[in-house]
């Protein structure tokens, strides 16, 4: 569909082209065109990215004739402002048999430009791309990211792979764990934005998808905060033992209790790695479910629109193309349901992991209280130990609050995902 290698071949060729451009040419290149929210593009390509068919919206907005589109590589509409790293990421996913969603700036025949949010999904003989007008606040942020990345490609002569890695790094800095996280967030925002712009009521499945995406965010923040909190008290057991040795000559109750606290702390730290894996697993399940819910929605709408098309590519077999779209929509629906069931299963595992962490955190708190009691009983209590115990009380209180919030969110996802997957067709 796109060629990142050609997209990155810039300096000499681009300079030569620009020297021959007239002022009207340059003005046209900078002009962006809008299209109505109800318009949906579709194009069908083979595995090499050569256009097989498309709908009238695709032809009309691009400005090309069917004779120029059919049989041409999809990069015919590629805009020079697009970073090659985006297309590298595109092809990485498609060649792995995965669907992809991203923002794309295209060019028209007369060198104007237009933006789309594109869903591309693999099918038997190639790929189907469905595109809509973007409108969310995330879209504006992506425009800035693309501009900065394209500038780096030119100035640093980045390879497609290096550009892809730079894009992922920039998205991580913006708060996205990986590209699946970004796809889920962007897909649900663009889907809800379009539905509202059209004055329609949000369907049940889209409301739930948006809710899952919202509930999910505290999970990653939660595990990150837990790791920071446990790291902040990592040295506390050692310091308690040192003070206990000074106070009790290594044989008193505080020393014994501090040893228990050390053992429990080590168990908690060991459990954190497993806890993060459970968090990542539910994160992945939710992201995939959300993206496929949105993909299924737009493909289903595209099937309905395609059935009324009268001006598609010449010689197009309408029935065959409609079946291809319907099949892609069904695959997306099935994948969404599968991920929802997986999300519910994983959420139950996560709830168990959270309960285990809460038990260990409670045990830590008990040892802290015992230390505090014994320190108060000592005829010569040490202020240093009291300060350590007071700090432990504050930190362990925050740990308990975070674990309780994560457990509550997990129960919500478990319940809603089960009902959604069993009771609704996506």
Instruction: List pLDDT tens digits, range 3-13.
Output: 333 334 333 33
* CATH 1.10.287-classified regions of the chain: 204-423
**Could you tell me which of 58, 79, 83 has the C-alpha nearest to residue 68?**
58
Distance of CA 189 to the CA centre of its chain: 12
Instruction: List pLDDT tens digits, range 147-189.
Output: 999 999 999 999 999 999 999 999 999 989 899 999 999 999 9
**Cα–Cα dist 301/292, whole Å:** 14
pLDDT higher at 334 or 237 = 334
- Token digits of residue 142: 């992506």
**Cα–Cα dist 282/351, whole Å:** 11
Angle CA(315)–CA(100)–CA(419) in degrees, nearest 5?
A: 105
pLDDT of residue 359: 85
Give DSSP secondary structure letters for 43-97.
EEEETT-BEEEE-HHHHHHH---HHHHTTSBGGGGB-TTS-HHHHHHHHHHHHTT
Residue 75: pLDDT band by 50, 70, 90 thresholds? very high
Q: What pTM was computed for the model?
A: 0.80
Residue 200, pLDDT above cutoff 80:
yes
Tell me which CATH code domain 204-423 carries: 1.10.287
Residues in the chain, overall count:
426
Residue 137, pLDDT above cutoff 90:
yes
- Per the CATH hierarchy, to which homologous superfamily does domain 4-158 belong? PAS domain (3.30.450.20)
Residues 6+ away with beta carbon under 8 Å from 208: 293, 416, 420
What is the percent of the chain with per-residue pLDDT over 70, rounded to a whole number?
Answer: 85
pLDDT of residue 380: 60
């995406």: which residue's tokens? 213
pLDDT of residue 9: 38
* CATH 3.30.450.20-classified regions of the chain: 4-158
Angle CA(296)–CA(298)–CA(302) in degrees, nearest 5?
A: 115
């Amino acid at each position: 569909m796109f060629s990142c290698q050609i997209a990155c071949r810039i300096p000499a060729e681009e300079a030569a082209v620009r020297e021959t451009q007239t002022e009207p040419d340059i003005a046209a290149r900078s002009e962006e065109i809008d299209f109505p929210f109800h318009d949906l593009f579709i194009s069908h390509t083979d595995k090499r990215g050569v256009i097989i068919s498309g709908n009238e919206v695709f032809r009309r907005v691009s400005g090309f004739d069917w004779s120029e589109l059919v049989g041409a590589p999809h990069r015919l509409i590629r805009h020079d402002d697009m970073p090659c790293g985006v297309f590298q990421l595109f092809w990485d996913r498609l060649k792995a048999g995965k669907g992809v969603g991203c923002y794309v700036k295209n060019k028209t025949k007369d060198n104007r430009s237009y933006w789309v949010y594109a869903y591309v999904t693999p099918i038997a003989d190639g790929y189907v791309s469905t595109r809509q007008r973007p409108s969310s606040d995330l879209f504006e942020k992506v425009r800035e990211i693309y501009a900065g990345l394209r500038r780096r490609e030119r100035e640093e002569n980045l390879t497609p792979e290096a550009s892809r890695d730079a894009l992922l790094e920039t998205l991580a800095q913006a708060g996205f764990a990986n590209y699946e996280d970004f796809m889920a967030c962007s897909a649900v925002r663009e889907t809800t934005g379009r539905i509202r712009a059209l004055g329609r009521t949000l369907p049940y499945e889209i409301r739930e998808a948006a809710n899952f995406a919202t509930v999910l965010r505290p999970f990653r923040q939660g595990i990150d905060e837990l790791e920071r909190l446990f790291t902040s008290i990592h040295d506390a057991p050692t310091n308690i033992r040192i003070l206990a040795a000074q106070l009790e000559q290594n044989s008193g109750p505080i020393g014994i209790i501090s040893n228990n606290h050390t053992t429990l702390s080590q168990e908690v730290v060991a459990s954190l790695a497993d806890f993060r894996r459970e968090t990542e697993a539910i994160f992945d399940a939710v992201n995939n479910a959300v993206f496929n819910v949105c993909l299924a929605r737009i493909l289903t709408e595209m099937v309905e629109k395609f059935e009324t098309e009268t001006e598609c590519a010449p010689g197009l077999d309408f029935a065959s193309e409609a079946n291809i779209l319907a099949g892609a929509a069904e695959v997306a629906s099935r994948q969404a349901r599968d991920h929802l069931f997986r999300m519910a299963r994983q959420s139950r595992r996560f709830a168990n992991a959270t309960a285990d962490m809460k038990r260990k955190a409670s045990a830590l708190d008990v040892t802290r209280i015992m230390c505090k009691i014994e320190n108060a009983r000592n005829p010569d209590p040490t202020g240093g130990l009291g300060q350590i115990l007071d700090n432990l009380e504050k930190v362990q209180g925050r740990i308990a609050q975070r674990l309780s919030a994560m457990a509550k969110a997990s129960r919500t996802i478990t319940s809603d995902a089960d009902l959604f997957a069993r009771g609704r067709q996506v």
